[in-house]
Structure 1
Amino acid sequence: MMEQEFYDKIGQTNGWDFSSVRCIVEGTGWDFYREVVNKAKPSDILLDIGTGGGEKVLEIADSYSLIVGIDNSKEMINTARTNLTNSQVSNVRFFQLPAEHLRFPEGFFDLASSRHCSFDALELAKVLKKGGYFLTQQVSEGDKLNLKKAFGRGQNFGEKDGTLKEAYIQKLKTAGFSKVEAFEYDADEYYETPEDLIFLLTHTPIIPDFGEKPDDLAVLNGFIEENRQEQGIRTNSKRFLLIAKR
């Protein structure tokens, strides 16, 4: 299944709402959208790239004058607009738009954010005000490493850890961002039940085409037995955070 089709399917299903998944996380270094709020002033306008179902920005809407959430998936934006209609929020707008073509006036946004979504540094530099901030959290190559090893495949499996981080840092500097700070963490995740882990694998691209290969169920059962601990079924969550000043 092509990546766009995958994201459209998930957007139609739940819009990246994983609130029902029972998972204990130990060792995280930050909460991404709290970091975004920490940079905000009440008069600021925020651009959220890859906004998905919009759940996260709707939660922080009262910290901004206006939030614009964009996503390239039609189904994701449909879900986000439904969530907006069902909320009490009036200062958030959602648009279907690719990150590579930000059709907004130059210097329109005070801040921009992108959580687990690719971005175009040059486009960001155009639409951000001078002195504005861009924050992005991305999945490191070493994320869910024991799962990927068990299945012998996975998102960025086999790539050197830190490759994506260094590439993004270089692109931001080339685009004219004056300062780029980098942070990372490698946290432990414990999924309470096999069903919680299956939900994760079904609704994310961590293991491509999960469930479609004949031995996937047997591999998963073996993984669960090997990694079941008192807190739950263990894997890891490795992330990096970049904070760039325009």
Structure 2
Amino acid sequence: MGYDELVAEGLTTPFEGWDFGVFRGRYEERGDADLPWSYPGLVRERLPAAGALLDLGTGGGEVLASLSPLPARTAATEGFAPNVPVARERLEPLGIEVAEVGDDDQLPFDDASFDLVISRHESYDPYEIRRVLRPGGTFVTQQVGGGDLAEVNEALGAPAHGYADWDLRAATDQLTAAGFTVTWQDEARLPAAFHDIGALVLFLRITPWHVPDFTVERYAESLRALHATMSAGQPLAAHCHRFALIAQP
């Protein structure tokens, strides 16, 4: 396909939850299996001792559902409106409450409601996490770091995204200031590549925080230049930035 067809496809391809299967062969990244830790493993190790679990930013509920059997009380939040009905369709039949939340990271739950709070790639307020955790509770998170796919912004001539300073040290400092002790931590960068301009446009469409002012018209010159190099067999190479930690109040 040519530039116009690929861009049109990127702007219209349906996307729900966080199922990246639509990118197969077009955008490739070393996934969670290539990280030096296992996020599902970190959570599963702690599930037997948890009577109540909260999953922040559940997306379409895919990861949470895969962790079953889950505690008798399990709840989830989601802040991206299109994902909320997807998550409810998947999780409510399992007895899991899905609460829609706003951008302020405030949680609609009582104090000391959960033994375990987990967050995969979702923002959070450390003080809210501490508030809803029971004494002796645990917070487990894997985060997308501020260096994630920075090469995309550079290639487009776009400003660095607003969370460029978000890394393991910043997260650890925030949690420590909120009264947590970080008991385990790790950080990694893995290779990624965009193979066609349609995949890049779709990615930027579903991650509006990455280039907040992105439109095809605003970045047309850079997009066309990238299309030319991609069509010549040279993908846009980038790096994923991930970190994870475990903390207790």
TM over 0.5: yes
Residues 227 and 234, structure 1, Cα contact 8 Å, conserved in 2: no
Whether the aligned pair in 1 keeps the contact of 2:105 and 2:123 (CA below 8 Å) is: no
Q: Give the structure 2 partner of residue 91 of structure 1.
A: 95
8 A contact 2:194–2:237 mirrored in 1? yes
Q: CA deviation at 1:34?
A: 3.1
SS state at 1:153 partner: coil
- List alignment gaps of at least 5 residues for structure 2: 1-11
Aligned partner (choices 70, 79, 86) of residue 72 of structure 1: 79
- Name the aligned partner's letter for residue 221 of structure 2: D
Gaps of 5+ in 1: 1-9
- Verify: 1:224 aligned to 2:230, yes or no: yes
Q: Distance in 1 between matches of 2:52 and 2:186?
A: 25
Contact 1:37–1:63 under 8 Å retained in 2:
no
Counterpart position of 1:148: 153
CA contact (8 A) 1:115 1:138 kept: yes
SS at match of 2:47: coil
Q: Please state if 1:199 is matched with 2:202.
A: yes
What code does the residue aligned with 2:97 have?
R
- Of 209, 216, 222, which residue of structure 2 is paired with 1:211? 216
Partner residue in 2 for 1:55: 62
The answer as to 2:152 corresponding to 1:131 is no
Change (3 A) 1:117 1:24: closer
- Corresponding position of 1:36: 43
Give the SS at the match of 1:61.
coil
Change in 2 beyond 3 A, CA 1:19/1:38 = farther
What's the counterpart of residue 120 of structure 1? Answer: 125
Indicate conservation of the 8 Å contact 1:173/1:180, yes or no.
no
Mapped to 2, the partners of 1:94 and 1:210 lie a distance apart of: 32
Distance 1:18 1:154, change over 3 A: farther
Partner of 1:21: 23
- Residue 177 of structure 1 and its aligned partner are, at CA, apart by 1.1
CA-CA distance at 1:80 after TM superposition: 1.0
Percent sequence identity is 27
State the aligned residue count.
228
Q: Which residue of 1 aligns with 2:240?
A: 237
In structure 2, C-alpha distance between the alignment counterparts of 1:66 and 1:219, rounded to whole Å: 52
Computed over aligned residues only, the root mean square deviation of the Cα atoms, in angstroms, reads 3.0
Aligned partners of 1:43 and 1:65 also within 8 Å: no
C-alpha displacement at 1:227, in angstroms?
Answer: 7.8
Asked if 2 retains the 8 angstrom alpha-carbon contact of 1:154 and 1:207, the reply is: yes
Q: Give the one of 181, 189, 203 matched to 2:192.
A: 189
Which piece of structure 1 moves more, 201-210 or 177-186?
Answer: 201-210
TM-score by length of 2: 0.77
Structure 2: distance between partners of 1:133 and 1:31: 17
3-state DSSP of counterpart to 1:83 = helix
Taking a change above 3 Å as real, the CA distance of residues 66 and 192 of structure 1, as seen in their structure-2 partners, is farther
Measured after TM superposition, the shift of residue 91 of structure 1 is 3.3
